[in-house]
Amino acid sequence: MILVTGGAGFIGANFVLDWLAQSDGPVLNLDKLTYAGNLENLASLQGDPRHVFVQGDIADGALLQGLLTEHRPRAVVNFAAESHVDRSIHGPEDFIQTNIVGTFRLLEAVRAHWGGLDEAGKAAFRFLHVSTDEVYGSLAATDSAFTEEHRYEPNSPYSASKAASDHLVRAYHHTYGLPVLTTNCSNNYGPYHFPEKLIPLMIVNALAGKPLPVYGDGMQIRDWLYVKDHCSAIRRVLAAGQLGEVYNVGGWNEKPNIEIVQTLCALLDELRPRADGKSYREQISYVKDRPGHDRRYAIDARKLEKELGWKPAETFETGIRKTVQWYLDHPDWVAHVQSGSYRDWVSKQYR
């Protein structure tokens, strides 16, 4: 068994689904079920004895100790995090509590569990921490992409909290010998993405006839990674990564935000045309830029390819088409995640 934290969220749920589709190894799934954690993401696993779900917080040390003692997982994959930059600007404390304090409590529980294993169990155990490229800060247009040796320069409460969690993981390896691995990924997209992030928000708003809000001039550049490619990279690092190492995971797809929005409009024009025959591009609306908005992220994933043989299977063109089609095919899921609190948040952020 492996323990997956945050396994009802966007990336975590995709990882759990893919893991169980390719392995008979059971998953203990711990998720707090905050606004972005959604058991509907895991509906296909209902009744599957290989999936054990527990609602709980990674900051709950007693709960963690009990779960580790009872289930004795051979690995922990930590997705649990507050992850939205905009929310961290308006309310940073939740990010400090989950991403820093929560990671600390998880590491402490895992350290105690690992310390009680026999030598073979210790040697086989892994703690994989999933992080973000945002810890590296922002790049100029001509700068080289982020490598694993890039200096940490976080610019938002979110990225600062993730940077702190990365440092804790590193410290627990060097101080206590905990067998850790860290991955830093670029922007993910794909199925089950909560519609506050750019791609799902644009799809949902477009279909609802609402404005498509683009920050500033829309020329902020991100490297886009299809979520199932990210999941395959994590599986590969978990299986063969060198202890204590960091692996950057990217899609080799640098694109400005406005190009992403225009691509989505073109796909929707093709797959679900507007009733009036006009393009969804007419719904694009530029809004005031957010504070401290990083201009460019880019991941250099050559270490992961060279050392572990991983590279993404999807191009942006294939991945984004699959993503749009998924949202068109799952209107009930979209409707269910759009609670009153979600609508209030979007109204406040993009008013």
Interacting residues of 287 by C-beta distance below 8 A, sequence separation 6+: 213, 214, 215, 350
Secondary structure (DSSP) of 295-347: -B--B--HHHHHHH----S--HHHHHHHHHHHHHH-HHHHHHH--HHHHHHHH
And the tokens for 207?
């279909």
Would strands 254-256 and 221-226 be described as parallel, antiparallel, or unpaired?
antiparallel
Interacting residues of 77 by C-beta distance below 8 A, sequence separation 6+: 2, 3, 4, 5, 15, 128, 130, 234, 238
Active site residue 133: yes
Catalytic residue among 134, 196, 294, 314: 134
- The three-state secondary structure class of 163 is helix
Catalytic residue among 133, 166, 223, 229: 133
Catalytic residue among 82, 86, 136, 158: 158
Active site residue 332: no
- In which residue are the tokens 């050392």 written? 307
Active site residue 247: no
And the tokens for 152?
């940490």
Catalytic positions, written as ranges: 133-134, 158
